[in-house]
Structure 1
């Protein structure tokens, strides 16, 4: 095991560990907040789904790379490779759908009373939980063909041709018919995110201009919970789209450039893991209820000591 492999193993171990810890902490603090004040917010199911999806992404992408770079190269058999790649693809699609749902429902939530969306706001917001459930079912179904194109570990398939190795597994080149649905899903979800983000930015700009004269003489301008939540969603979207574009560009270059080396897999995976690692800490910091619960749990041991 070289120094290069050791450094990469430590990087991915730290990234995966911090991300899993952050998402687990968010779920724990959210559960504590829910029990202390049973009134749940409209977008809470989507945030919980996002946290669960982040955990699946981190475990399915990070753990295999940690094992690989720490010297356990052939730790996955044929079944292990099929399961790992299925969860990677399914969680990736679920993350895109979840962010699309979060952006669209946030846009509906803050829509003014005189807008077209306001007429259907009550009915649309009732679709949050069914939409979350359907996103799970949809992504589990459209990625069901992925295991058929994972033929096992590198050692088992060292003589195969017509495919390519992805560090620890061997994957055949997928047919165009198989990637049509995931590609359409990505295009529609990214389009939905762009539309919702533009709509939210316009609403925030109008709101800022409308109330600017009220706070002109005030030194302490308090941001309302709705505006703070909207700003958090926009920040999450910007981080997600940036990481998504870099990861997709690296993955596409890897597919079409045979002699690109393994460094593109490293870059693609690292950027893909950035969002699920950062987002839970951003949610904890930006969510006032969860942040207060977090601070209270940290202050209790110090008071007793």
Structure 2
């Protein structure tokens, strides 16, 4: 066996297992937190949906791709393949949308009182669940259009399936569907990315100004510890930076692969690895910065299961 192929297999397997365990652990934590307090903070609610979308991405991309690199190629056909690609599509879009919502909401939360966003903070927190539900419904419906088109085209016209994903294959889209995909999926995702960049830049500026204002207070008290708000915002900034880095790299690789006349499986595997990095790393970054599994939570969990 080629040593490089073995390394790719181990990386895919490790990344998929760790990503699933991390996201499911955080989802379970938030469910327990909701059961205990009967409500969730807006940021926690967004993060719970983000972990759900990321878990779906890993299950629909990481698991089949891991099976493919370990030798189980084209194990899905027909409806199963189209359903898997449908889940991949709307889960990825919801992950991008909830990341944008998280970043914008946090920027509004920490904005100064004199800011124009101050009047919208309460409204944003009140309707955050509606915005999240709208994201799920919107992308499930949009992706369902492409799911039905591909499935009908594959069965009625009996065309050759020339889009190979290693674990399954499907028909290639024509120019009209590609243009429709760009308008309904790519343009909103690009808009979300711009919003993420803008809100992240705003948070960096706000935190820097806040640090400058309270620097003399911290020095006089001999403490350099950040406030909980600052730590939470810094955590979200780390998540956003990871998202922008890997999403940009994955998009560039996908565009380059689409332009190639002959498919390069090394580039395809690297593209899949980069697209899985964000959903796999997010839960561990969140655990490290927030220390959510505190002693009080562990004690309550013991009482819950006793």
TM-score by length of 2: 0.87
Checking the alignment, whether the CA contact within 8 Å between 2:103 and 2:196 is kept in structure 1 is yes
- The Cα of 1:127 is off from its aligned counterpart by 1.7
In structure 1, the partner of 2:45 is 45
Are the structure 2 counterparts of residues 188 and 2 from structure 1 closer, same or farther at C-alpha, using a change threshold of 3 Å?
same
The root-mean-square deviation of aligned C-alpha atoms, in Å, is 2.5
- The Cα of 1:93 is off from its aligned counterpart by 0.7
Q: 1:202 aligns with which of 205, 220, 238?
A: 205
- The Cα of 1:160 is off from its aligned counterpart by 2.9
In structure 1, the partner of 2:167 is 168
In structure 1, the partner of 2:241 is 238
- The Cα of 1:113 is off from its aligned counterpart by 1.1
- The Cα of 1:294 is off from its aligned counterpart by 8.7
- The Cα of 1:224 is off from its aligned counterpart by 1.3
| Structure 1, unaligned runs of 5 or more | 301-305
- The Cα of 1:35 is off from its aligned counterpart by 4.6
Q: Give me the whole-angstrom Cα distance separating, in 1, the residues matched to 2:95 and 2:127.
A: 18
Deviations 1:256-276 (A, max 9, x none): 112241112111110111111
Higher helix share: 2
In structure 2, the partner of 1:292 is 294
SS in 2 for 1:212: helix
Checking the alignment, whether the CA contact within 8 Å between 2:67 and 2:167 is kept in structure 1 is no
| Structure 2, unaligned runs of 5 or more | none
The runs of at least 4 aligned residues of structure 1 exceeding 6 Å deviation read none
- The Cα of 1:178 is off from its aligned counterpart by 3.0
Q: Give me the whole-angstrom Cα distance separating, in 2, the residues matched to 1:130 and 1:3.
A: 49
Checking the alignment, whether the CA contact within 8 Å between 2:246 and 2:277 is kept in structure 1 is yes
Q: Give me the whole-angstrom Cα distance separating, in 1, the residues matched to 2:196 and 2:94.
A: 14
Checking the alignment, whether the CA contact within 8 Å between 2:77 and 2:169 is kept in structure 1 is no
Are the structure 2 counterparts of residues 178 and 38 from structure 1 closer, same or farther at C-alpha, using a change threshold of 3 Å?
closer
Q: Give me the whole-angstrom Cα distance separating, in 2, the residues matched to 1:123 and 1:62.
A: 37
Q: Give me the whole-angstrom Cα distance separating, in 2, the residues matched to 1:182 and 1:193.
A: 17
Checking the alignment, whether the CA contact within 8 Å between 1:60 and 1:84 is kept in structure 2 is yes
- The 5 A counterparts of 1:97-136 are 97-136=97-136
Q: Give me the whole-angstrom Cα distance separating, in 2, the residues matched to 1:264 and 1:149.
A: 25
- The Cα of 1:39 is off from its aligned counterpart by 5.9
SS in 2 for 1:120: helix
- The Cα of 1:200 is off from its aligned counterpart by 0.8
- The Cα of 1:4 is off from its aligned counterpart by 4.9
In structure 2, the partner of 1:54 is 54
TM-score by length of 1: 0.87
Checking the alignment, whether the CA contact within 8 Å between 1:12 and 1:62 is kept in structure 2 is yes
SS in 1 for 2:164: strand
Q: Give me the whole-angstrom Cα distance separating, in 1, the residues matched to 2:36 and 2:217.
A: 35
Q: Give me the whole-angstrom Cα distance separating, in 1, the residues matched to 2:228 and 2:18.
A: 28
In structure 2, the partner of 1:283 is 286
- The Cα of 1:57 is off from its aligned counterpart by 0.5
In structure 2, the partner of 1:303 is none
Deviations 1:169-211 (A, max 9, x none): 3340353123321111112101111111111111101101110
